[in-house]
Structure 1
Amino acid sequence: MTQPATLVETVLAALMAAQRSAEGVAPPVALLWTDADCQWRPLLAALQKASPQLYVLGEYDVNHRTGPAIWLKCIVERTLPDVAPPAGMVPILYLPGVSRQDLRAGGDCPAPVQPLIELQYRGAPWHQRNGRDWTVEAFLSSEDGVGLDIALDNRTREAMMRALPVLATEPLAPLRGHRLEADDFDRLSVGDPIRDLLGWMSEPEAFQGRCAPARWETFRNICVREFGFDPDKDGPARAGDLMLNGNGKWEAVWRRFRDAPRGYPGIAELLRNAKPRDLLVDRARQPQVNEEQEAHLRYALEAAIALPHEGVCDRILALEAENKDRRGWVWADLGYSTLAHALEPLSRLAKLARSPLGGISLKGMAADYAAEGWRCDRAALDSMNHAKAPADSALIAKVVRALYAPWLDKSARKFQELATQNETEYRQLVSGVDAEPETCVVFADGLRFDVAGMLQERLEQRGLTVKLSHRIAPVPTVTATAKPIASPAHAACERGASSEDFTPILSISKQSVNASRLRDEMARQGVEILEPEETTLAAKTDKGGWTEIGHLDEMGHSLGIALVRQIEVEVEAIADRVSALLGTGWTRVRVVTDHGWLLVPGGMPKVELPAYLVATKWARC
């Protein structure tokens, strides 16, 4: 994931992360941000501008989303629709002058705050790992926050707090990699002509309104002396022309804007109307050039869909070569180059989809998929997950289908042909999951191989050693058939007499295997069964443990293509579960699944068979 560029972005990212609840647990009704010393107040305006769900305890002022405790309770209960946060957003309650200890004091809590006490139990607090409130110093220096190297002397602390309003939107990258002392923070606080110039160019009237007459005159003199124009006489348009054409100190102005463009939202329009000096002016500085190329790319993608499969692949790769540089332009950082960004995964898909899966045997074909073929599935998911605007999503979905569906069709037909001709080999390749001492098996329904690769990446980012391997799923590849084989009780199951529900039976009782009977059989064999959220210490059992997590398969049936938006959330939840199990004493965790799935925009080709021609017909068949 992209590292936040500024302090405001980092704080908001941390607040969002604190709202996430464990698998199966209801989300908090509110996030409580206590700040006994009111250290964070200087950031409040910038934070509220960036987050529509941030509310403040204080004197009633609806325009600044501020009010007393009872008003905040109304926000939480969403009884004030005009000021309530957007649907799906958890309100963040900033409580200046209040500490966590105040809220936990019960009846001794200050009376104005007492209505908020119960939110400790329905909401979630934002605090450090040690349970203390986040101070500015702690957040800036902690690896859970910004992770800066800050000197721990009083002079540095005082300078840091003085610089906080400036630090809010200043790029953090230049502050990393060396120890920060008082002088470093003071340099942020004192005059920064380029920052002031960009602020004025972005919001001229607002900037001048914030300036006392003496400060405005100083700013004007600096502009005349250092940047060659007079804000009063020439206005923002002249500044836009100078910035576009770039020379002398204006190159430094452009670089500063390039480093943190979101802090200056009005400059894009200024540059759009600026006049280039000649044809040699850098096209990357002209938003209208980017817009023209995005429009051309949209037209080209629409046209490519009608080409034969090989032609679509070639065209997408050609478009990637033409547009890849735009992903490095500032307009891409501002979200104005969505199709150029989408070309990155689309071009991966185009390159991979040229050749179907290889292999002259089932085993060879499975090995080819596990080695390289999964990357095609991953590229398709990445492409579908890239665009957020409906128009972009619809277009990219069509392109994905044109690239992906033929590859799937050819690969699937070849696999089916090999499976039909080699039934014995197929049965031999289907293997169960055996119990192992001090190993907990985590069953994740529908954890497709490429998604398992995402899980591997998340776990390795946490410092864990991970090995990814593959198994062949039994036929039919549905949970009823495949889940028992993925469990340590697989040896106690056999093929059922009826093919209507595709469910194996238990060898001893001849009862069909359902979730309850499968768990009972594993428990009978000595496997420790853990509930989804159970984190008890690992038992020293020779048969290991079993637990279940995840809803990928279920969500795939209900959400369709929208599943791509939920995959990262599911993967993160599984990674959390694995980490928790390792933290409670299990020496090894094995994540298994029952089957994969196909997800193609527009659906798969389907031939309806009359009911009288089939023994069993499910809704999805």
Structure 2
Amino acid sequence: MRVIEHLVKTLRDSAIFNPEVQVAPSCILWPDKDRQWEAVIPRLQSELAELLVLGEYAPESRTGPAIWLRCVIAGKAPDVTLPADRVPVFYLPGVSRQDLRAIEDCPELLKPLAELQYRGVIWSQANAKDWTIMAFLKSDQGGMGLDVAQDNDAKNAMQLALYRLLDEELELLKGKRLDKDYFNTLLTGGDPVRDLLRWLDLGDAFQATRGANEWKAFVEVCKSQLAFNPQADGVLAGASKLATREGPWHSVWERYSEAPKRYPNIPSRIRQCKPPDLGIFDTPAEKLSGWPQWNDEQEKALQHDLLALSHMPAHEARKRVLELEKAHALRRELVWAELGESPLALAAKHLTVVAEVSKTALAAGSVADLQAMYATQGWRADDAVLSALACVDKAADVDAVTAAVRAIYLPWLEESARYLQKLVDGSSYPGGTIASAKAFAASKGECVLFVDGLRFDAARRLSAVLETRGCQVAEAMSWTALPSVTATGKAAASPVRTKISGADDCDDFEPCVAATGQSLKGGYHLKKLLNDNHWKVLDRTENGNGQGNAWCEFGDIDSEGHARGWKLAKHIDPLLAEIAERIGALLAAGWNSVRVVTDHGWLLMPGKLPTIQMSKDLTDNKWGRCAAIKPGASTSERLYPWFWNPNQQFALADGVSCYGKSVDYNHGGLSLQECLVLDLVVTRTGGMPGKQVAEFIDITWKGLRCTVAVDGQYANLSLDIRTQAGDPASSVVVSVKPLKDNGTASVVVENEELQGHAAFLVLLSPSGELVAEASTVIGGE
């Protein structure tokens, strides 16, 4: 029962009578000499249709003079209608019980009510005194029997907060000390820390949105709980205390850390304050991490240290990267990282992976050994380079990450490419030629999706995204056709490759239809060849019906790489998400499986790949990493047979160099990154009964903070709490949080009034799709 419901019941119960010895009272008189209840009377009138007020004539608000109230009782007031089954209640502001009793001395305007004290009843305490707010809250005889502080500060705060108190649950107030802090907190909305952060964020604009009473209560709460006076001390003093995080301000900082993006102006407020001297603390990182200025200095220092790697041998640079990661890892847990102010600290995590992986050179053993080492660990270096570059935007930060990548990754990349090229002579390339290629074996109801430039590490990322969406993914390694360019590789990945060949005089790596000699350049004859061999060709938006077999092309990874250079790293995930959506649509259309194939990988090096020169007199056609040699020309370049016609030979650039113009992104040569790729066969999870993609294995509440542990395929998932599982708008958390590497996450429900309400824990994919859900009770059972 709410306080207002108890008050209404108490008022109405005062009219209870014994019909055997009494007549029904004509009204209930509610005297209030000090007008303590006056502010909440409009609120009470919404609950008490029979409540009328003594005052100036205003029948629309059920208010009027004493003679009008007499007319209401007599049924002679046509401008007001009262419930027939209720005794009228007359609220008398400024009038005491004694005023009514002293009939001779009471004002003329009040005299019409005097005799009602005999025909009606007066709502009063057991000792016949009028009900004050304090008495009603404290008294256990007709009141609520609560523990209320009686000092003046508490009384003043109680008076101001009365309209909020009316809606509180009576049971929750039992056993609670109601003092000035409680009433002030109630008046400010029940969440003083949130209000303090909003004040720090909005400054004077916050006070402008508050009434005088609410602002006064807010100031009193801050003085009591934080020993801080917003009115006198000002916003910058508060910002300084927030950054220092000492004493009670530590909990304020923790609250800010949970959702710093909700208070976008706080960092600039703190920047206006002078931070303490770095040298006065034994553990400066712990003491100064609340200051964005300190984080800025740390970023500048890391920037300087990464740039310095360009002057070190690779092995020393890798060691230094590991040291820098140890020094800066803490900053990834701070609000400055979430606010995008620690890009290099974020990049350091990925550079550490590059340093660790590149310690082991891919320059030993057979081609099969290289393949195994790359598939196990080596690809992670390529992936981590992309992740590190994706962290930075500013030119100075890009330069710092570029210096690190070139110091620790480029030597490893170059060494592995040269070793692979040394192993592979003209006849031992594992990708072989069309003569050794196997016929394409397609299963019934399979759709083949060609993605241009799906490098090994990108395919691994795509596989992870698909698994979070509930798909099963089988991976199979393969080697691309040489040279590793689209003209050669796309046809080699197609289901009709055995019906394609290469002309003896071809110098652009474009094969042709074996039966007719028609070039596949432009794509028309490849599509016709597919159609003629019972493969339906789908356009980019067509899904088909799942019958027979189909071929479609989708994804812009290669074109984006050529256009953007190193910035492909910042766009690779959205590109892969689009591909995953396309696969999902194909499976939803009824295809039993989607086989993802590609033509080649690529090299990516910020600061540009190295270059070598080749005389134009030796080549018919020169691409970035490969060149067609003129018939009869003599060259020292290592020559390789063309996949489509071994009689045609071409040169590949040594190591990871490019012929001619230097660029960040290129392909066409011989390296693990360009030539070793993954084919993916994607199916729905229907073939795995009983196995969930991800599931909650532990749910723990501590106050309004919920921590969960998840098992299964939880990579890239995020945690939310909603009142309706399928409705994003029903989220009740401060912010949605991604699951950590160990499958845990923690979120906070901000609205304390939701404690005890039922809700749903939901896991979300990167695209916002609902992956799993579990019911819970906010705050715990």
Normalization by structure 1: what TM-score?
0.66
Instruction: Tell me, yes or no, if the aligned pair for 1:358 and 1:364 is still in contact at 8 Å.
Output: no
Aligned-partner Cα distance in 2 for 1:346–1:417: 29
Picking from 309, 312, 327, the partner of 1:307 is 312
Instruction: Tell me, yes or no, if the aligned pair for 1:359 and 1:368 is still in contact at 8 Å.
Output: no
Question: Deviation at 1:203?
Answer: 2.8
Pairing of 1:221-620 with structure 2 (within 5 A): 221-272=220-271, 273=273, 279=281, 282-357=287-362, 360-420=365-425, 422-423=427-428, 426-427=431-432, 433-514=440-521, 515-539=523-547, 541=548, 544-618=549-623
Q: What SS does structure 2 have at the residue aligned with 1:302?
A: helix
Pairing of 1:2-21 with structure 2 (within 5 A): none
Instruction: Tell me, yes or no, if the aligned pair for 1:405 and 1:600 is still in contact at 8 Å.
Output: yes
Question: Deviation at 1:233?
Answer: 2.2
- Which sits farther off after the overlay, 593-602 or 525-534? 525-534
Q: Could you tell me which residue of structure 2 aligns to residue 32 of structure 1?
A: none
What is the one-letter code of the residue matched to 2:235? P
What is the one-letter code of the residue matched to 2:361? P
Deviation per residue, 1:240-291 (Å, 9 max, x gap): 4543444543222121111112222333344452665963672322322222
Deviation per residue, 1:107-132 (Å, 9 max, x gap): xxxxxxxxxxxxxxxxxxxxxxxxxx
Aligned-partner Cα distance in 1 for 2:188–2:216: 19
Question: Structure 1 pair 433/562, CA: closer, same or farther in 2 (3 Å)?
Answer: farther
What is the one-letter code of the residue matched to 2:316? G
Question: Structure 1 pair 330/188, CA: closer, same or farther in 2 (3 Å)?
Answer: farther
Larger-Rg structure: 2
Aligned-partner Cα distance in 1 for 2:440–2:561: 25
* Unmatched tracts of structure 2, length 5 or more: 1-184, 626-658, 660-781
Question: Structure 1 pair 204/372, CA: closer, same or farther in 2 (3 Å)?
Answer: same
Question: Structure 1 pair 592/197, CA: closer, same or farther in 2 (3 Å)?
Answer: same
What is the one-letter code of the residue matched to 1:279? F
Aligned-partner Cα distance in 1 for 2:430–2:458: 27
Return the structure number with greater strand share: 2
Q: What SS does structure 1 have at the residue aligned with 2:425?
A: helix
What is the one-letter code of the residue matched to 2:581? D
What is the one-letter code of the residue matched to 1:512? S
Deviation per residue, 1:324-365 (Å, 9 max, x gap): 011111222222211111111111111112222255222332
Q: Could you tell me which residue of structure 2 aligns to residue 61 of structure 1?
A: none
Q: What SS does structure 1 have at the residue aligned with 2:415?
A: helix
- Which sits farther off after the overlay, 281-290 or 600-609? 281-290
Instruction: Tell me, yes or no, if the aligned pair for 1:384 and 1:400 is still in contact at 8 Å.
Output: no
Aligned-partner Cα distance in 2 for 1:555–1:187: 56
Question: Structure 1 pair 215/426, CA: closer, same or farther in 2 (3 Å)?
Answer: closer
Question: Deviation at 1:370?
Answer: 2.1
What is the one-letter code of the residue matched to 1:469? A
Question: Structure 1 pair 430/448, CA: closer, same or farther in 2 (3 Å)?
Answer: farther
What is the one-letter code of the residue matched to 1:475? L
Q: Could you tell me which residue of structure 1 aligns to residue 664 of structure 2?
A: none
Question: Deviation at 1:461?
Answer: 1.1
Deviation per residue, 1:580-618 (Å, 9 max, x gap): 111111001100001111111122221121211123223
Instruction: Tell me, yes or no, if the aligned pair for 1:338 and 1:387 is still in contact at 8 Å.
Output: yes
Taking only aligned residues, the RMSD between alpha carbons, in angstroms, comes to: 2.5
Aligned-partner Cα distance in 1 for 2:511–2:254: 65
Question: Structure 1 pair 433/559, CA: closer, same or farther in 2 (3 Å)?
Answer: farther
Q: What SS does structure 2 have at the residue aligned with 1:408?
A: helix
Deviation per residue, 1:21-52 (Å, 9 max, x gap): xxxxxxxxxxxxxxxxxxxxxxxxxxxxxxxx
* Unmatched tracts of structure 1, length 5 or more: 1-185
Question: Structure 1 pair 252/335, CA: closer, same or farther in 2 (3 Å)?
Answer: same
Q: Could you tell me which residue of structure 1 aligns to residue 127 of structure 2?
A: none
Return the structure number with greater helix share: 1
Aligned-partner Cα distance in 2 for 1:558–1:265: 35
Aligned-partner Cα distance in 1 for 2:298–2:439: 53
Question: Deviation at 1:480?
Answer: 1.2
Aligned-partner Cα distance in 2 for 1:462–1:299: 41
Question: Deviation at 1:439?
Answer: 0.6
Instruction: Tell me, yes or no, if the aligned pair for 1:432 and 1:485 is still in contact at 8 Å.
Output: no
Q: Could you tell me which residue of structure 2 aligns to residue 191 of structure 1?
A: 190
Instruction: Tell me, yes or no, if the aligned pair for 2:332 and 2:346 is still in contact at 8 Å.
Output: yes
Aligned-partner Cα distance in 2 for 1:495–1:569: 36
Deviation per residue, 1:59-89 (Å, 9 max, x gap): xxxxxxxxxxxxxxxxxxxxxxxxxxxxxxx
Question: Deviation at 1:512?
Answer: 3.0
In percent, how many aligned pairs have the same letter? 35
Question: Deviation at 1:523?
Answer: 1.5
Question: Deviation at 1:376?
Answer: 1.1
